[in-house]
Structure 1
């Protein structure tokens, strides 16, 4: 048994075949008894696994191996030397965002987000959103397709596609990035301390409905969203020393 390690795989054929290969070479522990977890799949399955840990309250270090597409949050796939890789792995602590949403129906929902929280227009009409930072209105009316708040771990995902900044993992910053802004026309976003509380109020939600998405989970017809770092639930990601997450994020600034 590899140091009380559990093994999880996404339902794809590639991941299941990798799972069978590892099961033929190593002995793994049941998930409930494990001290750490090896995850096989892509970034989506890794995020799904981390969310299940957050919601289940049983957070364990995770070592991912890429059997998906991009695999930014995962190590490279190979079967040899897994015990040694786990022993030498470099750990990174990641604090998720906590998104508190109020809907037009009066419901309040709270969801975690590891990469980003994004607000998106639901119809062909642009969204109109008021932006507050720590209780102070900083933009009275942003006219846009949406807006997002990204963590350093998520700054190279949707945030980068929306022309947001890449944040080093230890920067203690959040990226506030507009999505196709029309007004203010020249506003490109902001970099904020991760102690900030960011609030969005939807203007004219009946005519211009907006949804909120925490990583992969969507809540529709919202009227207000509050976002802050949840420091009470730290996640631990494990990486090969030569493939560390902080270096990968930094190198994305030079990708062509």
Structure 2
């Protein structure tokens, strides 16, 4: 039975209709390159989710290539900036894609409106017992929604952190206190929550110890949203 199941899954996940970001990357996402590159990491993922994307991510190497090229485009858009605005994101994305892609954005009056938008537009709208990487692979979402948070599962990001939302476990609800689980691809999941993370040595501790950041794709119920806003990648007409 196990052999038969493997035989079925291999062609499914490697078919032409599969995502340009592969199952292997989704099941063990690499961490972002530095503590300042969550935006460019998320945009690289968002680009790879597009139907027939010309920017596939099939390994840590191609993930880093996309992340670093978008980061370079951000710096070129504003060399003196320490923080980048959504206008800078848009400029960088258009430069990276030779003007084929741009940034979609929507601000919400409150958090319930943001949840309702996700429920109406996300491909994955139910948490299941399936492995999250497998659930994304078979659902084939074409949009990843970028969300700014200050806390995930007890791990704080005081100045904010951009993650990619790939799904929402939410019925339609008008309760202002309702908080659905979100399927989040996090490029900067802190290995040691109470350890300050510097802009240098973001990936590894001195002496080859475990990394300060790891990537993760998981359903998250405990989170704090910084801005009631979502951004995503769209193809230009």
Q: TM-score normalised by the shorter chain: which range applies?
A: under 0.3
Structure with greater proportional strand content: 1
Larger radius of gyration between Structure 1 and Structure 2: 1
Structure with greater proportional helix content: 2
